[in-house]
Structure 1
Amino acid sequence: MRSIKIKDYMNRHPLKFTRKMPVEEAVALLVSANQSGGPVVDQNAQVIGFLSEQDCLQMMLKGTYHNEQSANVEDCMSAEVLTVNVDTAIVDLAQTLGSNKPKVYPVVDYEGQLVGVISRTDVLRAIDLYQRESHGKH
């Protein structure tokens, strides 16, 4: 099972945001892609934050309630981001997942650049497929 790597199951074309992107634009991307969040990257594709549906919801409600101008992604993103390396074993990530952990992890290469994202669903799919193949149940 250790041979199954994150790179084999990650989403290689994730939503990504920039810090100066308007929240409304980010929300439109989240809704159209049916994703719960995505990494915020700088001009060098380095992960500098994470924007979730919850972050957007809170900011948009605040803006609507107070009739304020639009906010940017940097105004509501989480700056503390847990990333995983592309060569991390799926089983290692699965063992760290808990109820207070993120549902989506940015995946980075050895230079720290974003190369994809992996979700709990992706991890579950990898483990399920491994079990089916190892027990001869296709």
Structure 2
Amino acid sequence: MESLKVKDYMIHHPVTFKQNMSLTAALDKVIESESLGGPVVDEVGTLIGFISEHDLLEKLVKVSYICQDSYIVGDCMSTNVVSVHPDMLIIELAEMMKIGKPKVYPVVDDENRLVGLINRRAVLRAINKNLKACFSHQI
């Protein structure tokens, strides 16, 4: 499992959001893609935040009461985003996931540009593949 890297299991073209996008447009995008949210990027693809279903729910409940779409993604996105590098080992990310809250991590290059997304399911897929390989050698 030491050789398994994030880049081998990440989603290469994740759903992304822009800071000035309306929350209702972001909600449409989340529902359509069945994602849990996603990275917020600027014009050149630099990671500037993350918007989750929870973030949307919190603000959109208010919007539904007043029937006015006055919020944008930038109003409720998290800016303190934990990201990982594509060359990070899956085992290191699994350890982070055990102690950290995020279920989804943006994957960024050395210039903080978004190159992918990795979630718990992808990490479990990598672990499962490794376990199957281990057990097949024992037979």
Normalising by structure 2, what TM-score?
A: 0.93
The equivalent residue for 1:70 is 70
Amino acid corresponding to residue 19 of structure 2 in structure 1: R
The equivalent residue for 1:112 is 112
Deviation at 1:124, TM superposition (A): 0.6
* CA distance in structure 2 between the aligned counterparts of 1:101 and 1:90, rounded to whole angstroms: 17
Amino acid corresponding to residue 89 of structure 2 in structure 1: A
Q: Confirm or deny: 8 A CA contact 2:22 2:69 kept in the other structure.
A: no
Aligned residues: 137
* CA distance in structure 2 between the aligned counterparts of 1:35 and 1:82, rounded to whole angstroms: 18
Structure 1, residues 43-93: CA drift from partner, whole Å, max 9, x if none? 121111000001111111011224443310001111110000010000000
Q: Confirm or deny: 8 A CA contact 1:24 1:70 kept in the other structure.
A: no
Amino acid corresponding to residue 48 of structure 2 in structure 1: I
Deviation at 1:101, TM superposition (A): 1.4
The equivalent residue for 2:93 is 93
SS in 1 for 2:136: coil
How many percent identity over aligned positions?
43
- When residues 12 and 31 of structure 1 are mapped into structure 2, their CA distance, relative to the original with a 3 A threshold, is same
* CA distance in structure 2 between the aligned counterparts of 1:32 and 1:106, rounded to whole angstroms: 20
Q: Confirm or deny: 8 A CA contact 1:50 1:77 kept in the other structure.
A: yes
Amino acid corresponding to residue 108 of structure 1 in structure 2: V
63-72 or 74-83: bigger deviation: 63-72
Deviation at 1:98, TM superposition (A): 3.2
Deviation at 1:100, TM superposition (A): 4.7
13-22 or 96-105: bigger deviation: 96-105
* CA distance in structure 2 between the aligned counterparts of 1:127 and 1:110, rounded to whole angstroms: 26
Q: Confirm or deny: 8 A CA contact 1:106 1:118 kept in the other structure.
A: yes
Structure 1 stretches (4+) deviating beyond 4 angstroms? none
Deviation at 1:135, TM superposition (A): 1.4
Unaligned runs of 5+ in 2: none
- When residues 27 and 127 of structure 1 are mapped into structure 2, their CA distance, relative to the original with a 3 A threshold, is same
* CA distance in structure 1 between the aligned counterparts of 2:34 and 2:99, rounded to whole angstroms: 22
The equivalent residue for 1:27 is 27
Does the alignment pair 1:58 with 2:58? Answer: yes
Deviation at 1:2, TM superposition (A): 1.6
Normalising by structure 1, what TM-score?
A: 0.94
* CA distance in structure 1 between the aligned counterparts of 2:79 and 2:117, rounded to whole angstroms: 17
The equivalent residue for 2:16 is 16
